[in-house]
């Protein structure tokens, strides 16, 4: 038989239990919470993707450096037949030919913006029909440049006077066309004379020939990559007086020294065995 507690004793025990709970609650910091139960389905931490920043390098402007271009059209017009205006960019600035005179100047880029600064040019008279007008328009448009677009196959310069469209420069082959002497190097300068327009060279199937300014000459030649050797030069024996005869002699002497060649567009440079440029030729118009 179970013995029953006295009612007063029961009340005292209940009060003591409540007091214990009160003391326990008072000793627990208000901000503490029991740790959450671990779960097998925890949420993965959030990954923040950094914002993409556009490159600061002016890639198109950098691509202009060292590039060489031939004019296709300017203001919707093609170049004068037989002429080839050009545009080159290098560390010194820009330059090229108008199809008659050479020009040179400075330029600046910012993004796709293009500003052409002071320009200069040679002052040779351009006798072929339309060349002087082409030169004037070409240079005026270039100085009015505002912006440009560039691909591997085309350069477009946008100006206040219309568009100038260029393609990558093409270079002539040594063999086939007729080359006209532009000058013989003396010291650090290329010296030209009035008779140079009559001194020519053609290279075909191992045979070089042309006019030396007075007599006709002929020789064999050998090619190996950019190596060029002129062999056994012969000529007609007509007597040539004054400057004409002196220039012919200088030309034939230089021709015997040729060891290497370079062609840039329509300009042929010949070098001796020491790597020094000794003569310059230009492509004969219509060749």
Residue at 219 is within a domain:
yes
Boundary residue ending a domain (139, 168, 197): 168
Residue at 54 is within a domain:
no
Residue at 103 is within a domain:
yes
Residue at 109 is within a domain:
yes
Q: How far is residue 226's CA from residue 211's CA, in Å, rounded to a whole number?
A: 24
Same domain, 207 and 159: no
Lookup: tokens for 128: 């072929």
Which residue intervals of 190-281 are DSSP H helices? 242-255
Boundary residue ending a domain (103, 135, 168): 168
* Strand positions, DSSP E, the chain: 68-74, 86-90, 93-97, 102-110, 113-121, 145-150, 155-159, 162-168, 178-186, 189-191, 200-204, 207-211, 216-224, 227-235, 260-264, 267-271, 277-283
Task: Tell me whether residue 155 is exposed, middle or buried, using C-beta atoms within 10 angstroms of its C-beta: 0 to 12, 13 to 18, 19 or more.
Answer: buried
pLDDT score for 127? 84
Task: Tell me whether residue 142 is exposed, middle or buried, using C-beta atoms within 10 angstroms of its C-beta: 0 to 12, 13 to 18, 19 or more.
Answer: buried
Q: What is the CATH classification number for the domain harbouring 103?
A: 2.40.128.270
Q: How far is residue 66's CA from residue 97's CA, in Å, rounded to a whole number?
A: 16
Q: ∠ CA 40-44-49 to the nearest 5 degrees?
A: 170
pLDDT score for 82? 83
Contacts of 234 (CB under 8 A, 6+ apart): 217, 218, 219
What domain count does the chain have?
2
Residue at 200 is within a domain:
yes
pLDDT score for 59? 65
Residue at 36 is within a domain:
no
Q: How far is residue 202's CA from residue 174's CA, in Å, rounded to a whole number?
A: 8
pLDDT score for 285? 74
Residue at 213 is within a domain:
yes
* Domain enclosing residue 125, as ranges: 59-168
Average pLDDT per block of 10 residues along the chain, 287 residues long: 46 48 49 48 49 50 89 97 92 92 93 94 87 96 96 95 96 95 92 95 98 98 96 95 96 97 93 96 83
């Amino acid at each position: 038989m179970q013995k029953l507690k006295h009612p007063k004793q029961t009340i005292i025990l209940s009060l003591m239990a409540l007091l214990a709970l009160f003391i326990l609650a008072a000793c627990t910091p208000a901000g503490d919470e029991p740790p959450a139960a671990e779960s097998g389905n925890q949420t993965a931490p959030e990954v923040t993707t950094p914002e993409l920043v556009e490159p600061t390098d002016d890639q198109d402007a950098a691509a202009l450096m060292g590039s060489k271009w031939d004019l296709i059209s300017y203001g919707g017009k093609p170049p004068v037949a037989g002429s080839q205006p050009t545009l080159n960019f290098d560390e010194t600035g820009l330059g090229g030919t108008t199809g008659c005179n050479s020009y040179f100047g400075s330029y600046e880029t910012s993004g796709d913006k293009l500003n052409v600064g002071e320009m200069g040019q040679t002052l040779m008279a351009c006798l072929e029909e339309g060349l002087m007008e082409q030169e004037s328009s070409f240079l005026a448009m270039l100085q009015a440049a505002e912006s440009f677009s560039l691909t591997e196959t085309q350069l477009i310069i946008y100006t206040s006077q219309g568009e100038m469209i260029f393609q990558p420069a093409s270079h002539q082959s040594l063999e086939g066309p007729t080359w006209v002497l532009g000058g013989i190097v003396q010291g650090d300068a290329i010296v030209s004379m009035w008779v140079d327009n009559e001194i020519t060279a053609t290279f075909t199937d191992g045979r070089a020939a042309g006019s030396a300014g007075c007599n006709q000459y002929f020789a064999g030649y050998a090619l190996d990559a950019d190596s060029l050797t002129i062999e056994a030069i012969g000529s007609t024996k007509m007597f040539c007086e004054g400057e004409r005869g002196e220039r012919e002699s200088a030309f034939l002497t230089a021709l015997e020294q040729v060891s290497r060649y370079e062609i840039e567009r329509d300009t042929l440079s010949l070098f001796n065995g020491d790597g020094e440029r000794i003569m310059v030729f230009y492509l004969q118009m219509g060749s």
